Amino acid sequence: DLYECNVPYLKDLFSESVYPWDMLGKIKGLCAKLLEEGIEGFTEIETGILVGRDVKIAPTATIIPPAIIGHGTEIRPGAYLRGNVITGENCVLGNSSEFKNCILLDKVQAPHYNYVGDSVLGNKAHMGAGSITSNVKSDKTLTTIKTPEGVIETGMKKVGAMLGDEVEVGCGSVLNPGTVVGRRSNIYPLSMVREFVPANSIYKKRGEVVEKY
């Protein structure tokens, strides 16, 4: 319900997973498999770093392997990829932004001072400047997912945000561990989100979520 995955090397992972957070523990293994088998049109520019065609990497960006970077993606100055990062095509990993153990589908933009950890971002998802995915609870207990049907136990300590296709996150927002945002929804700037936000919604503040028309 959150994603339409058109990235060939990610399709099996998505189709085999019941919940998006189930994929987080499989990213490292998938990176190893793709690096061993190779992907048509991709080049291993350094050990453990596989990039597609027309990828732009700024000289001051840091990439810790493993990483799979899709065609046409831009990694801007000061970006820090901490390992286990897989992107689709035409993404922007931006200025002074940090990424670890995450999946970005096609045309994701995290262009300015973002943190994306243990998260899955859908097609055309956009992180406003300074918005982050918090991935560990302050009391260090296991992350739960709150849904309209009840609470789901993930069994995992580190779970960031699951953003559906075309989600817009306003500047300066914090998406707390286990946040799920449905497709085409908007998060107001400076929001603090710790819940399930339905598709086609506008999150203004806690307790004030309205349907988009």
Q: What is the dihedral of CA 123, 41, 20, 81, to 10 degrees?
A: -90
Which residues partner with 147 through β-bridges? 150
* Cβ burial, residue 199 (10 Å; 0-12/13-18/19+): middle
Which residues partner with 120 through β-bridges? 103, 162
CB atoms within 10 A of CB 8: 11
Task: Calculate ∠ Cα 185-212-207, nearest 5°.
Answer: 75
Judge contact between 103 and 27, C-beta under 8 A.
yes
205: its two tokens: 């503040």
Which residues partner with 15 through β-bridges? none
- Indicate which residue of 26, 39, 80, 112 is catalytic: 112
Closest CA to 163 of 205, 188, 133, 135: 133
**At residue 187, what is the residue type?**
I
The verdict on whether 71 is a catalytic residue reads: no
Quickly list DSSP for 47-65.
TTEEE-TT-EE-TT-EEPS
Q: Which residues are catalytic?
A: 112
